[in-house]
Structure 1
Amino acid sequence: MYPNLYYAFRDLFGIEIPAFKILQTFGFFVAVAFLAGAWVLTKELKRREQLGWLKPVAETVMTGGPAGTGEYLTSGILGFLLGWKGLGLVLNWDTVSQNFQGFILSGEGSFLGGLAVAGLLVFLKYNSSKGKKGTVAKKETVSIWPHQRVPDIIVMAAIAGLLGAKVFHNLENWNDFVQDPIGALLSFSGLTFYGGLIVATVVILRYARKKQIGIKHLIDSAAPALMLAYAIGRMGCQFAGDGDWGIYNSAYITDTTGHVVQVAPAEFSSAVQRNIAFFRQQYSDTAHIPHAAFAKPAALSFLPDWFFASGYAHNVVNEGVPLPGCDGPYCRVLPVGVYPTPLYEILACLLLTGVLWAIRKKITVPGVIFGIYLVLNGLERFFVEKIRVNTKYNIFGFHPTQAEIISFLLIVGGIVWIWYCRKKNAAVATAA
């Protein structure tokens, strides 16, 4: 696994770039996911605009005039934050590089560096504004197309999505949150996709209504973008080893090098006993540890063992037992292989992205593509939950996980939404 890009470049290319220690692998893939989603969303919105399904909206904007007080304040605050943390990072590199996340969330930094950069940005703003002195700000009416609003949509989706993902994760892991609420809220790990999807959807729909964007065409355009972004985000989970993996595959244990090896079913109990201290930290009853044995079938012998089980050596959350011969901050490996569920979701969602992209021109009823996305996303997540590690609830004798509940509602909601959109479209066609 690659907790940050330093380890990735070192293992893949034999190049050691210490500065890359601050670039977290999970965060890198999240950023790529948003960029890829933005590209797909923009491309599909433009197509619908060309077909006349989406129209521009006239807006009044202010142009000309010197910089105002608000602009100077924004430049100053941004400059202070950059200088405060940036110079602090440079001056304390040896310490900070070992715990970049902790440094960013702490009160440490360079106060003088913050003042210096703030002053510089304010001066640059003043200098660029000098030529506008004596000019008068005036109102102009411009036409703004939906695809031009994608940057705003992506920023809102990122903020609302991350907040929603964090809140839903802590609700799902309430006991851990109660023990350390500040640490749970500020930690960069622990995100629930459906929480982010729900909160971001609410925020973006409110924005779309305010900006007079056709909501059905917007969500249809977003469907393949969302599926692709989810697949790329799961790459971050897989390559960083963020703890979002499956139950134990008791047909495999990890050896001293961190690789999984196939063993007889009885070896699972022996591995648990050899590492009983670790398993007791995870489960109060070590006699009922969730696991399922599935050895690689002969028909799939061409696939590597890590497709069926992974020890997630060097995982970013430092989960597992010490890895022999390893010296550093990420030297843990799971003693028994787990199902690499992020890998399965990557493959499934890339395939489903292709499906949505292929049918987007064939289905012309507004809203139906998004309904299909809800059904496909719900089905994918519902079935992968069967081998994932998650908190289960007791509801009338049933024991679903949070994701199973939400995915079931998405499937039902998607079917109902498709029916509603088709019925609405038929009614409009009949009236016309």
Structure 2
Amino acid sequence: MYPNLYYAFRELFGISVPFLKILNTFGFFVAIAFIAAAYVFTKELKRREELGLMSGKLEKIIIGKPASQADLIGYAIVGFILGFKFLGIAFQWSTASEDLQSFMFSGQGSWIGGIAVAAIMAYREYASKKKKALPKPVEKDILVMPHQRVPDITVMAAIGGLLGAKIFHNLENWGDFVQDPIGALLSFSGLTFYGGLIVAAAIILWYARKKNINLRLLVDSVAPALMLAYGIGRMGCQFAGDGDWGIYNSAYTVDVQTGSTTKMAPMTFEEVVQKNSNYFQSKYGGIENIPHASFEKPSGLGFLPDWFFAYGYPHNVVNDGVKLTGCEGQYCRVLPIAVFPTPLYEIITCLGLFLVLWAIRKKIKVPGVLFGIYLILNGIERFFIEKIRVDTRYDIFGFHPTQAEIISTLLVIGGIIFIIYCRKKNTASLS
């Protein structure tokens, strides 16, 4: 596992760059997911605009206006944060290098560096606007097309999505949140995809309505991008080992010296649990509460490695498990019994579903139907992966679904209803 890019570069290329410790692996893949989704989203919006299906909106802009106080304050704040933290790392390297991530989220930094960079950035904005300023600012109408709003939509989706993912995760794990609310909010793990999707969707739909963008064409355009973003985002979960994995596969154990997966006879499951009783007792209370299933690699799939079916996530970013023999440093834990690597399964499934949506997008002529298909495919995929994932379960009239199972079921139902609605609306508009 690669908790941050420092570990990835060290293992893959044999280079040690301590500064890379501040770049979390999960965050890196989330950023890649947003970039890839923005590219696909823009491409699809442009296609629909060229077909004459979507149009822009005239908006007024002021040319030649000097920098406002709000602009200068905004640049100064950003500059102060950058200078305070990054120059703080440079000036306090001996302390910061021990745990760069903790340093970034602490009150430590360089006040001189923060003030200096704040002044530089504010002055650059002031000088740039002054150079372009006119004696009398001119008001001008410009046509803004939907694809030109993708950067704004991406930023809103990123902020709303991350906030929603955190909120829903902490609601799902309320007990852990109450014990350490600050740690839960600032931790690098603990993001609920559906929470992010719901909050981001609400914000984007509000923005689209405000800008007079056709909502059904908009959601059709974004459907493939959402599936692609989810598949890439799950790479972050897999490579960082963020705890978002499956139940234990009791057919495999883990070598605590190498972190590798090895086969285990079913009758030795209890022995391994007893050997690591402190870990399992503190986490589950008793062997009867340990979620597990035994599944060995089928003979017909011998070409696949064992870790495809069971993985111990050595050096995981959440420091879950028992200590790796001989390992020194911050991330030295490995799961004592291998788990189903559900993020890996979702990477493969969602990238495949993205290709399906991308292939059929031109064949579906009724606005909104493609998004309805996305909701159904997304809901089905997540519902079935939940069967082997570790999640909090609710007690509802004798049923024990997870939060994701409830939402994924609603997504499938909602997708079907939305397709029916869009078809009826399209028929009515043609008659």
1:398 equivalent to 2:410? Answer no
1:127 equivalent to 2:127? Answer yes
Residue correspondences, number: 430
CA drift at 1:182 = 1.6
Q: Is the 8 A contact 2:169 2:191 kept in 1?
A: yes
The 3 A distance-change label for structure 1 pair 132 and 231 is closer
SS, match of residue 266 in structure 1: helix
Q: Is the 8 A contact 1:231 1:349 kept in 2?
A: yes
Q: Is the 8 A contact 1:6 1:16 kept in 2?
A: yes
Q: Is the 8 A contact 1:60 1:141 kept in 2?
A: yes
What's 1:249 paired with?
Answer: 249
List gaps (5 residues or longer) in structure 2: none
What's 1:194 paired with?
Answer: 194
What's 1:108 paired with?
Answer: 108
CA drift at 1:315 = 0.4
SS, match of residue 142 in structure 1: strand
Give the Cα separation in 2 of the matches to 1:366 and 1:253.
50
Give the Cα separation in 2 of the matches to 1:36 and 1:134.
39
Q: Deviations over 1:225-265 (max 9, x none)?
A: 00000000000000000000000000000012110101110
The 3 A distance-change label for structure 1 pair 180 and 50 is same
What's 1:311 paired with?
Answer: 312
What's 1:211 paired with?
Answer: 211
What's 2:274 paired with?
Answer: 273
Give the Cα separation in 2 of the matches to 1:128 and 1:348.
48
CA drift at 1:288 = 3.0
1:148 equivalent to 2:151? Answer no
Q: Is the 8 A contact 2:322 2:336 kept in 1?
A: yes
SS, match of residue 85 in structure 1: helix
The letter of the residue matching 1:323 is: L
Q: Is the 8 A contact 1:22 1:97 kept in 2?
A: no
Q: Is the 8 A contact 2:65 2:134 kept in 1?
A: yes
CA drift at 1:89 = 1.5
Q: Is the 8 A contact 2:309 2:341 kept in 1?
A: yes
Give the Cα separation in 1 of the matches to 2:323 and 2:398.
39
TM-score by length of 2: 0.98
- The aligned runs of 1:349-360 (5 Å cut-off) are 349-360=350-361
What's 1:19 paired with?
Answer: 19
What's 2:185 paired with?
Answer: 185
What's 1:344 paired with?
Answer: 345
The 3 A distance-change label for structure 1 pair 301 and 329 is same
CA drift at 1:133 = 5.4
The letter of the residue matching 2:329 is: G
The 3 A distance-change label for structure 1 pair 310 and 94 is farther
List gaps (5 residues or longer) in structure 1: none
What's 1:77 paired with?
Answer: 77
Query: Which region of structure 1 is more displaced relative to structure 2, 44-53 or 286-295?
Result: 286-295
Give the Cα separation in 1 of the matches to 2:122 and 2:182.
34
Give the Cα separation in 2 of the matches to 1:133 and 1:299.
71
CA drift at 1:38 = 0.1
Query: Which region of structure 1 is more displaced relative to structure 2, 295-304 or 75-84?
Result: 75-84
Query: Which region of structure 1 is more displaced relative to structure 2, 89-98 or 315-324?
Result: 89-98
1:385 equivalent to 2:386? Answer yes
Q: Is the 8 A contact 2:156 2:203 kept in 1?
A: yes
- The aligned runs of 1:78-93 (5 Å cut-off) are 78-93=78-93
Give the Cα separation in 2 of the matches to 1:153 and 1:77.
23
Superposition CA RMSD, Å? 1.1
Give the Cα separation in 2 of the matches to 1:130 and 1:426.
55
1:58 equivalent to 2:54? Answer no
Give the Cα separation in 2 of the matches to 1:130 and 1:177.
49
Q: Is the 8 A contact 2:64 2:133 kept in 1?
A: no
SS, match of residue 343 in structure 1: helix
SS, match of residue 11 in structure 1: helix
Give the Cα separation in 2 of the matches to 1:39 and 1:106.
35
CA drift at 1:134 = 5.6
What is the aligned-residue identity percentage? 64
Q: Is the 8 A contact 1:162 1:191 kept in 2?
A: yes
Give the Cα separation in 2 of the matches to 1:290 and 1:140.
63
Q: Deviations over 1:281-301 (max 9, x none)?
A: 210222331100000111010
Query: Which region of structure 1 is more displaced relative to structure 2, 328-337 or 86-95?
Result: 86-95
Q: Is the 8 A contact 1:3 1:314 kept in 2?
A: yes
Q: Is the 8 A contact 2:242 2:316 kept in 1?
A: yes
CA drift at 1:138 = 1.7
Q: Deviations over 1:52-95 (max 9, x none)?
A: 11001111111113222222212222221111112111122343
